[in-house]
Amino acid sequence: NGIPTTWLNYGTANGTSDPDAKWEYRGPSTTPNNTVGSRGAYFSSPTPIACATASHGFVVFDSDFLDNAGIAGNFGNGIAAAHHVAELITDRIDLSSYSVVDLIFTQYYRRFAGPGGSQAVPATYVDFSTDGGTSWPYSVTLNSGVSVNSSTSTNDVVVIQAGSYIGGEDSVKVRFRFDGDYYFWNIDDIS
């Protein structure tokens, strides 16, 4: 039924807070719906994530489309110009009874550039807070092995052994952070 209302979802476009630079839910009743992945100009097919529950919807950060409105050569003229930093933050999770914690989700990511427009790093990060989101001392960089202009599989399962970061803590928040330029990051089946 979409992104939970208790989660935070916001971002910046070209260094400025922008209500359009955020994660988008694609479900069976949304426009576009869950059969459409990226709508950007630089992907030949709008293939969505292929995970177990994609028919119920997924979330996407579509940097390509936000920057160019799906028009080749239209750099910076979409509804939210790149460079993007978009954060999707869970509500508080009590893990005080659990020392072994794995964060598991399915992703589909296509890489261009990470922070500062650097092609040496990806744009995908998972951050952990143990104080309810006041600070984010733990960060995991994802997709370093994905080459520029390449992508993961459409059903890539990510497993982060997070017990050393958040195990035994009672005020945990998890942040999915896109920090870069182009292309997209689809996520679903978070557990």
pLDDT tens, residue by residue, 171-188: 999 999 999 999 999 999
Q: Any residues with CB less than 8 A from the CB of 121 and at least 6 apart, and which? A: 114, 115, 141, 144
**Residue 44: pLDDT band by 50, 70, 90 thresholds?**
confident
Contact 38, 45 (CB under 8 A): no
CA–CA gap between residue 104 and residue 54 (Å, rounded): 15
Query: Over the stretch 119-154, which tens digit does the pLDDT of each residue have?
Result: 999 999 999 999 999 999 999 999 999 999 999 999
Instruction: Read off the pTM.
Output: 0.97
CA–CA gap between residue 112 and residue 114 (Å, rounded): 7
